[in-house]
Amino acid sequence: MKRAERLLRLRKMAGMVLELRAASLAKAAAEREATKEKLAALNRLPDADAMQDMTEAHRFLVYEGWAAGRRARLNQQLARQEVVWRSELASARQAFGRDQVLAKLQEEKRKPRI
């Protein structure tokens, strides 16, 4: 097998790996963003007029007790997702670098030597 053929095959494989890593990164980012949105939804404040009613104020305090526990679990989940996202980002960067290096090698091979 000639060097040009090997480079072509390597470039195709590197492209497939890059696509896979990019898809994994996108999935990890989407999961992380979904958790961030859930956290943001827990931080809503009631209307000031509603807090004048004792029943509504009591409901809000009960909700806040539940929301505090939910926030703690979501923050732990977000921390785990952040680690996964950073790992996927590093993998995607590495795959991108390999793809770019192989592309550059292919371009150099195509250029006529002087």
Token pair 């979904």 is found at: 34
Residue 114's pLDDT band, with cuts at 50, 70 and 90, is low
Contacts for 86 with CB less than 8 Å, ≥ 6 apart: none
pTM above 0.85, yes or no: no
pLDDT above 90 covers a percentage of the chain that reads: 67
Q: pLDDT tens-digit profile of 30-65?
A: 999 999 999 999 988 777 776 778 888 888 889 999
Walk me through the domains of the chain, giving residue ranges and CATH numbers. Answer: 3-110 (1.10.287)
